[in-house]
Amino acid sequence: MAKVIHSMIRVLEENLSVNFYRSAFGLNVADRLDFDTFTLVYLRNAEADFELELTINKGREEPYSLGDGYGHIALCVDNLEAEHERLAAAGLNPRKIVEFNHEGGLFARFFFVGDPDGYQIEVLQRHGRYK
């Protein structure tokens, strides 16, 4: 059986991205591998084994085009309002909290926030299938 272990995104500035993910979601550097032309940084927290891999291509100066295929990364939290307030107070500009209903019941409560490279992160209230 396969196990999902990480997702990779390309970022321009390592420190800016590492600081964003640490401040916003408590993800810390689990490993950092430096190669001649790129660096890999693996971020994680104690909540799960899944990691976010940041790839920093050396010499790259222009922002990456995210295209129309990328959607978002999702995380769930115990207190959505508190996380929204915390991110807003940190100047990270989370969008408004919305509710998504399905078949007459609450399916999800969430908001989105963008990282320094424009990747979107969905922050969901722990509920239903999002635990």
Active-site positions read: 122
Helix (DSSP H) and strand (DSSP E) numbers for the chain: 2, 8
d(CA 89, CA 108): 24
| Residue 83 burial (10 A CB sphere; 0-12, 13-18, 19+) | buried
- Residue 10 CB: number of other CB atoms within 10 A? 17
